[in-house]
Chains A and B, each alone.
Chain A
Amino acid sequence: MQLQAPGPWSLLLGRLTLDQIPYTNPILQVTFAVAALVGLAVVGVVLYYKKVGYLWREWLTTVDHKKIGVMYIIVGLVMLFRGFADGLLIRTQQVLANGPHAAGFLGATHGFLPPFHFDQVYSAHGTIMILFAATPILTGFQNIVVPLQIGARDMAFPYMNAVSLWLTTAAAALVMISLFVGDFSQAGWVGLIPLTELPYSPGTGVDYWMWAIQISSVGTTLNAINMIVTIVDMRAPGMTWFRMPVFSWTTLSTNIIGLTAFPVLGVALALLGADRYLGTHFFTAGMGGNLMLYTNLFWIWGHPEVYFLILPTFGVLSEVIPTFSEKPIFGYVTMVAATFAIAGISWLVWLHHFFTMGSGPDINGFFSVATMLVGIPTGVKVFNWMFTLYRGRISYTVPMLWAMFGLFLLLVGGLTGMMLALPAVNYTVHDSVFVIAHFHCMVLMVVCAGFAGVTYWFPKLFGFRLDEGWGKAFFWTFAIGTITVFTAMFALGFEGETRRLEWTFNTAWKPMLVIEELGMVLYVLSLALFAIMLIVSIRNRNKEHLGSDPWGTSRTLEWLTPTPVPFYNFAVTPQVNTRDELAWRRKHGVEHTKPDAYEEIHMPSNSGLPVILGACAGIWGFAMIWRIWWLAALGLLGIVMIVIIRSFDKNAGYHLQPREIETMERNLTIGSITSEQPDRSHHIPHAEAH
């Protein structure tokens, strides 16, 4: 039944042989050396400061939503860096390999990357940026902020939250492993069909891509369930639906999308897997297969996925802009309505990703108009942000700068998106770099909102600010780099350059390719400034003591609790009186009131099972990729065992006593996110479920 993959196979190692390790490639040699050095340095530091136990107790086994959120963001930032390195390789290859007479280095005919390598790089760039950088970073924000914003102690399912994180991390690890063991997919982040079928992609690259996405999408789906339940069920008393901050609203809508869309992707990839492993014909051109079915399924997930990324960033802008305009968001109700309108329409537009497939004018017409409809609620949002600025008192802090630039990118992306929504225009620029520039405006808006969010919420979590001066330097180089690269890319689209060209055959493109490369230099510079910002901020961290609201003008509940946030979030669950609760309390001078008495807090216990489950999933994925059946069975067995062990786990958490809370509240720094929880070796056997 199993389809025989080409090449050698052994019972012990499956398809894995020594020549699958690309140790002769100089680029990968350098990458490996750097990765190994960084890895050794991290391990060395942990060992030198004897932090292994701390790392295990406080981070790897944690079920605290804030720490899980931080780890999501760290994973996302690492992958963002990897994805950026891929982007730099793509840009450099295309400018070097311009014209038929371009010189070749390192074994390539043109430029320095032969197609075999280049195609992996661009496929990895897309896969990583969308699924392993943007998604984890935004999930991280939602994890950190939403429970605080709605006045909850933690997520609804803290244990499952950790499972989601470690599944995502395992999948990201598989993508990284593909650098040094075997190859990555050469068929684009969308998995171009039938290029991903075995006859055209006989290697393990597509399998890496497929299993990594499959594993991470399980994590994302679980996280979506968790978020929805948390928001529906765990809002503080008084937090009615229409008192909920816009970021929590966008998180709710985005996770409804996530919960309903990711299973579609899972099914599409499972069917593709059946084609590749079992020899079925779901998506092949022949034998009754239908390759357009894959394309439809992929984009039925893929387009909602775009809004899965965009909506939370709209939420970030809706927090940052009012805070630094010192005004409530304009048109709160229409903002919420627009959010759900976008989420709803996102299900009706997938076909605009292939207007050129020959669907006929009626179908293309329907999807063209449906696509344009997205412009209405998006326009509403932009207008609302604009009116929020009106008669405000705007301070241009770093988060505000990022938000404003994000707004600019949204407008450029919107303008070009409306062009692409016209099939008559789409026929000339579909699959051209014009489309690339368009959706990079959108995803860079996500990145901008991401950096706005990082700088905005950083002091709340860690108790110190990110350096303002270096932050601004980072912002300006990044913003100017972005404009440089993507203005040139829009121009190249009009010059007829299409995407995924391993060598750029038209010499007329040279000037714009060079401009793009100059923009990339600015990006590299901005990356260095980002690192400097982090180092300087950490070094100067003890210079000031931050109160519960470091910005002084924040409006929502997460800024009510002490800074850095204690692991139990709120000593006493807050009673919510209005929308923008903190702004209301500040106005009435009651933001610092102490409770009369503390009550017991029920807390979940840490667990080592999720990280082990993640490891098992990673092993299972690796074994499936290389067709090492015994190892795959072992990985799967591990997962099943952990689920069984967990279901017999009688530990229902522990209670913090009022006296402990009072002590910790008095000495606020103890409650830091990086602090250790009190020792709980004596579990309370029959704690009530909270």
Chain B
Amino acid sequence: MRLKPYLALLPMLALGACSSGDYLLFHPINAIATQEWHATIVDTVVMTLIILPVLLAIAFFGWRYRKSANAAYDPDWSHNTVLELLVWGVPFVVVAGLGLYSVKTIYAVEPYQPGLLQKQVNADPQSVLNVDVINTDWQWVFVYPAQHIATIDELEVPQGSVVRMRLTSTSVSNDIYIPQLAPMIAVMPGMRTRDSFDAPVLGEYTGFGADFSGAGFSWMQFATHVVSQADFNAWVQQAAASPNQLSYAAFQKVAQPHANIGAKVSYFSNADPLLFDEVIAAAQAGVVYPVSAELTKSIGSNEK
């Protein structure tokens, strides 16, 4: 019988597996994600410093003053001015400290203009890569306005760059998220939001939509490649050679609701550099891409 409470702790062992690479948030790649991970650690440590003693005290009192123990019993003790000042004071101090820390970190990682990246942007404006991200039902369109190319479900950026994304949606809201690189930020129709990240380490990182956007939502992953500048240039050349072009008219076909099963990548040459603004203007003017009930029922279903 006595063992039962300890059995409850068994699942905690699961956390022992945390060192593996599966825990994406424990393995940030760039300055932004590292700062966010540090904030997670700082907050957890500070809160544990107060919560753990409370937990232990509750466990200790609960055991020490159980009825069968015949411990000291004080049936009227219910007030102590010093203690009551302390129970307000201790949380107040903790919250004041964490509050200050929180505000400081917000400015550091602020997705519109991260304080952490400001120095690099100022020193080397050439390293900024602008990408326009358009969320459709249900895929991601990345437009590189300076390079005049666009892709579906692939984001490729050169190592050492600061990527600044403008975000919007043709239809419904979503979030964009690349766990090891870019903070989660809402993507909304008729509106522009921003997200930024730096790309110091070569590799492939998964990004995906994080806020439910309808039947095809679970298929909305995209690959993020951080490559060398030379590889990036070659990749741009390859995309620019694509026979598919992306004007606003051509975009209408892309924007029709459908799931991109398997997140197959497409490239477009001659992408309209103003496509992003045209999509926002259209959404504000009331353009929608309706999802029929039949489509909702058939996506992800074998019964077509």
A residues contacting B by CB (< 8 A) are: 6-7, 100, 104, 107-110, 114-116, 119, 186-188, 192-195, 199-200, 202-203, 281, 284-287, 291-292, 325-332, 334, 354, 356-358, 360-361, 364-365, 368-369, 372-373, 375-376, 378-380, 382-396, 404, 407-408, 411, 414-415, 418-419, 421-425, 427-432, 476, 479-480, 483-484, 487-488, 491, 493-496, 498-503, 505-506, 508-509, 511-512, 515, 519
Task: Find out whether the CB atom of A428 lies under 8 angstroms from the CB atom of B65.
Answer: no
Task: Find out whether the CB atom of A285 lies under 8 angstroms from the CB atom of B283.
Answer: yes
Task: Find out whether the CB atom of A358 lies under 8 angstroms from the CB atom of B78.
Answer: no
Q: Nearest-CB distance from A375 to chain B (Å)?
A: 5
Task: Find out whether the CB atom of B39 lies under 8 angstroms from the CB atom of A424.
Answer: yes
CB neighbours (8 Å) of B185 from chain A are 356, 358, 427
Interface centre among B99, B193, B212 (most CB of A within 10 A): B212
Stretch from B4-12, B119-127, B150-158, B267-275 that touches the partner: B4-12
If A100-B262, A368-B103 touch, whether A108 touches B7 (CB-CB below 8 Å) is: no
Task: Find out whether the CB atom of A200 lies under 8 angstroms from the CB atom of B57.
Answer: no
Task: Find out whether the CB atom of A327 lies under 8 angstroms from the CB atom of B75.
Answer: yes
CB neighbours (8 Å) of A430 from chain B are 175, 184, 210
B residues contacting A by CB (< 8 A) are: 4, 7-9, 11-12, 14-15, 17-18, 22-26, 33, 35-37, 39-40, 43-44, 47-48, 50-51, 54-55, 57-58, 61-62, 65-67, 71-80, 83-84, 86-88, 90-92, 94-95, 98-99, 101-103, 105-112, 137, 171-173, 175, 177, 179, 183-186, 188-191, 193-194, 206, 208, 210-219, 221, 262, 282-293, 296-297, 299-303
Task: Find out whether the CB atom of B300 lies under 8 angstroms from the CB atom of A109.
Answer: yes
Identity of the chain A residue whose Cβ is nearest the Cβ of B24 in the assembled complex: A496
Task: Find out whether the CB atom of A495 lies under 8 angstroms from the CB atom of B22.
Answer: yes
8 interchain residue pairs of minimum CB distance: A427-B183, A379-B91, A286-B286, A285-B189, A285-B190, A383-B87, A424-B105, A114-B301
Interface centre among A395, A419, A476, A515 (most CB of B within 10 A): A419
Q: In the bound complex, how far is the Cα of B284 from the Cα of A199, in angstroms?
A: 15
If A287-B286, A356-B186, A375-B91 touch, whether A391 touches B206 (CB-CB below 8 Å) is: no
Identity of the chain A residue whose Cβ is nearest the Cβ of B109 in the assembled complex: A424
Task: Find out whether the CB atom of A395 lies under 8 angstroms from the CB atom of B79.
Answer: no
Identity of the chain B residue whose Cβ is nearest the Cβ of A519 in the assembled complex: B11
CB neighbours (8 Å) of A512 from chain B are 14
Q: In the bound complex, how far is the Cα of B35 from the Cα of A170, in angstroms?
A: 50
Q: Nearest-CB distance from B5 to chain A (Å)?
A: 9
Task: Find out whether the CB atom of B14 lies under 8 angstroms from the CB atom of A487.
Answer: yes
Q: In the bound complex, how far is the Cα of B87 from the Cα of A332, in angstroms?
A: 13
Task: Find out whether the CB atom of A380 lies under 8 angstroms from the CB atom of B87.
Answer: yes
CB neighbours (8 Å) of A292 from chain B are 188, 191
Q: In the bound complex, how far is the Cα of B70 from the Cα of A394, in angstroms?
A: 10
Task: Find out whether the CB atom of B65 lies under 8 angstroms from the CB atom of A391.
Answer: yes
Task: Find out whether the CB atom of B25 lies under 8 angstroms from the CB atom of A502.
Answer: no
Q: In the bound complex, how far is the Cα of B137 from the Cα of A195, in angstroms?
A: 11
Task: Find out whether the CB atom of A376 lies under 8 angstroms from the CB atom of B91.
Answer: yes
Contact of A431 among B51, B137, B210, B262 (CB under 8 A): B210
Q: In the bound complex, how far is the Cα of B57 from the Cα of A384, in angstroms?
A: 12
Q: Nearest-CB distance from A201 to chain B (Å)?
A: 8
Task: Find out whether the CB atom of A365 lies under 8 angstroms from the CB atom of B103.
Answer: yes
Q: Nearest-CB distance from B80 to chain A (Å)?
A: 8
Identity of the chain B residue whose Cβ is nearest the Cβ of A506 in the assembled complex: B206
Q: Nearest-CB distance from A432 to chain B (Å)?
A: 7
Contact of B36 among A326, A411, A418, A427 (CB under 8 A): A427
CB neighbours (8 Å) of A483 from chain B are 8-9, 11-12
Interchain Cβ contacts under 8 Å between A and B, 21 examples:
A6-B293, A115-B296, A115-B299, A116-B296, A284-B288, A327-B78, A356-B184, A357-B193, A358-B193, A365-B102, A368-B99, A387-B80, A389-B62, A414-B47, A424-B36, A427-B36, A487-B12, A491-B15, A495-B23, A495-B25, A500-B212
Task: Find out whether the CB atom of B172 lies under 8 angstroms from the CB atom of A414.
Answer: no
Task: Find out whether the CB atom of B87 lies under 8 angstroms from the CB atom of A389.
Answer: no
CB neighbours (8 Å) of B110 from chain A are 360-361
Q: Nearest-CB distance from B304 to chain A (Å)?
A: 10
Q: In the bound complex, how far is the Cα of B146 from the Cα of A419, in angstroms?
A: 39
CB neighbours (8 Å) of B216 from chain A are 115
Contact of B40 among A114, A325, A425, A484 (CB under 8 A): A425
If A368-B103, A372-B99 touch, whether A330 touches B33 (CB-CB below 8 Å) is: no
Task: Find out whether the CB atom of A488 lies under 8 angstroms from the CB atom of B11.
Answer: yes
Task: Find out whether the CB atom of A372 lies under 8 angstroms from the CB atom of B171.
Answer: no
Task: Find out whether the CB atom of B291 lies under 8 angstroms from the CB atom of A200.
Answer: yes
CB neighbours (8 Å) of A361 from chain B are 103, 106-107, 110
CB neighbours (8 Å) of B79 from chain A are 330-332
Contact of B188 among A108, A285, A484, A495 (CB under 8 A): A285
CB neighbours (8 Å) of B83 from chain A are 331, 383, 387
Q: In the bound complex, how far is the Cα of B17 from the Cα of A344, in angstroms?
A: 41
Task: Find out whether the CB atom of B189 lies under 8 angstroms from the CB atom of A194.
Answer: yes
Task: Find out whether the CB atom of A285 lies under 8 angstroms from the CB atom of B284.
Answer: yes
Task: Find out whether the CB atom of A407 lies under 8 angstroms from the CB atom of B25.
Answer: no
CB neighbours (8 Å) of B297 from chain A are 114, 116
Q: In the bound complex, how far is the Cα of B299 from the Cα of A369, in angstroms?
A: 42
CB neighbours (8 Å) of A328 from chain B are 76, 78
Task: Find out whether the CB atom of A496 lies under 8 angstroms from the CB atom of B84.
Answer: no
Q: Nearest-CB distance from B41 to chain A (Å)?
A: 10
Task: Find out whether the CB atom of B25 lies under 8 angstroms from the CB atom of A199.
Answer: no
Contact of A494 among B4, B23, B102 (CB under 8 A): B23
Task: Find out whether the CB atom of B173 lies under 8 angstroms from the CB atom of A494.
Answer: no
Task: Find out whether the CB atom of A393 lies under 8 angstroms from the CB atom of B65.
Answer: yes
Task: Find out whether the CB atom of A423 lies under 8 angstroms from the CB atom of B288.
Answer: no
Q: In the bound complex, how far is the Cα of B262 from the Cα of A110, in angstroms?
A: 13
CB neighbours (8 Å) of A382 from chain B are 54
Q: In the bound complex, how far is the Cα of B79 from the Cα of A334, in angstroms?
A: 10
Q: Nearest-CB distance from A202 to chain B (Å)?
A: 5
Q: In the bound complex, how far is the Cα of B194 from the Cα of A311, in angstroms?
A: 38
Q: In the bound complex, how far is the Cα of B215 from the Cα of A187, in angstroms?
A: 10
If A372-B95, A506-B206 touch, whether A327 touches B74 (CB-CB below 8 Å) is: yes
Task: Find out whether the CB atom of A115 lies under 8 angstroms from the CB atom of B217.
Answer: yes
Beyond A199-B288, A199-B290, A368-B103, 13 extra complex contacts between A and B, CB < 8 Å: A331-B87, A358-B112, A389-B58, A390-B77, A391-B77, A411-B54, A422-B43, A425-B40, A431-B175, A431-B177, A498-B211, A505-B219, A506-B206
Contact of A419 among B9, B47, B284, B292 (CB under 8 A): B47
Q: Nearest-CB distance from A406 to chain B (Å)?
A: 12
Task: Find out whether the CB atom of B215 lies under 8 angstroms from the CB atom of A418.
Answer: no
